[in-house]
Structure 1
Amino acid sequence: MFTRIALFLATNLAVLVLAGIVMSILGVHPQQLGGLLVMAAIFGFGGSLISLLTSKWMAKRATGAYVITQPRNETERWLLETVRRQAQAAGIGMPEVAIYDAPEINAFATGANRNNALVAVSTGLLRNMNADEAEAVLGHEVAHIANGDMVTMALLQGVLNTFVIVLARVVGGVVDSYLSGNREDRGPGLAYFAIVMVLEIVFGLFATMIAMWFSRRREFRADAGGARLAGRHKMIAALERLALNQGQSTLPAQVAAFGIAGGMGQGLRRLFMSHPPLSERIAALRAAA
């Protein structure tokens, strides 16, 4: 927890320093910088923090997940017992455990608090994986919670959103001023807002690449965590099963990045993938052994 807070503060400080340097070069006054940073932080962090705080509720609503309170059969009893054992080993509170109806093999974890999270598995996973493979998938999701990945991802997205908002408006103001002949008595016009919109799209694409790069790195860490909790051979077997049954995910967008199964991409498309290719994840686990 303290490491994540320190990283968050250091990242914000770096953003402020870099923004200050950029704006000094571009001739933006400190008074303008302060107001712009406050506005950008409110909008930049607002959406990501609200998404984080409502993530469990949204995930259950979007997937129609059924939370297991009293096990109705042996499968549900095994799910609860396995997650409870792994949560204790990982040093986190017992997450809610849920099942959602979907044909593909998948699972996800979400929640704003590592001691009050949610782990959900698809009916397709229960039908197509054996107990060892399912145990490894659960370990992967518990590792996501223990690593604080949901919180870290939300904070990173907030920082990136803030930077995009600030940079788009600063650069947009400079471009608009240049196009208008540097007339100081002229306020921002339609051209300024059009430029800002275009720049937000362009800078937003770069911000998405950074966020997805981090998302891919955390998948390797969660695989390693799943290997520690369930066993390396089980984690490798689970990923190999996913590779054999890989298809289009039906998870909603708000939780797709937290599912265990990733998509496939080539060339530039790889830069926007939330998960590394399964072949690379399997190779990393084998190399670590």
Structure 2
Amino acid sequence: MTDEQEQVQPSGVWATAVGVARVRALESARENALFRDPLAQAFAAAGGLWPSAPLPDDEAARRRRLGVAFSIVIRTKFLDDLLRQASASGIRQVVLLGAGMDSRAFRMDWPEGTRLFEVDTAAPLDFKASVLRREQAVPRCERRTVTVDLREDWPGALAAAGHDPAAPTVWIAEGLLIYLPEDAVEVLLARITAQSAVGSRMGLTLGSRGVIERFGADAAPGPAASMWVSEMPDDPIGWLAGHGWEAAGHTLRERAAAYGRPISAPPQHDEGPGGLISAVRR
């Protein structure tokens, strides 16, 4: 059977990962790119989103799409930096929850001995594997895929794949929590905490307050925003402290300015403490 025959057409929530890959491919082509993702274009092309994707007819919808794309670029840079800092601190276990088309195992420089786990369901991991085979991609660390639904016993599956909860881990949940209802977010965080030794780190992206009203309330079925269900707590730092994490929150505007991509539009009236979160297990 060929890779083309094996490949699964993207659908549902995980199909948005292919759209994210397209955004990363476009950023990688910029002269002043905040990161380089050499596999992003291949993922986007395999999902039918390269070289172009259909634009919404409505001007407001186009602006919203550009806003979401911009946030993807900034969050990617933010989490790349967090992972480098975690590696520099000595952490050698990385877990990507809802990994999608994440290619950090292939595009980042990892210290010797790093083991990176990609946790997702079978469909995106199979799709991804077919593209990686065609691209003859070679990971720069020990990469292990964990095929499991995050609503199931993913800690058990992760342990079976070789994760050691006694050693510090850096966890990444990028563009994930916004698709989960609040009770599922609580369960996920409790499970992460239970598998995290002291000194573990975590990077989260949270839907800012009001984002569903501004972007998702009138979204047509299909686009990512139409599947958003969860926004950040009123006090994300306090929320994480209650789970045993010392956290810092950053706004998209703040990080964009720090990366040389300032946002010219005036702040939203409800722009809160920020949906880019870094945390340390204490």
Q: Which has the higher helix share?
A: 1
Determine which structure has the larger strand proportion and give its number: 2
Q: Larger radius of gyration, structure 1 or 2?
A: 1
Length-normalised TM-score, structure 2:
0.26
Q: TM-score, normalised by structure 1?
A: 0.25
User: Relative contact order (C-alpha < 8 Å, sep 6+): which is higher?
Assistant: 1
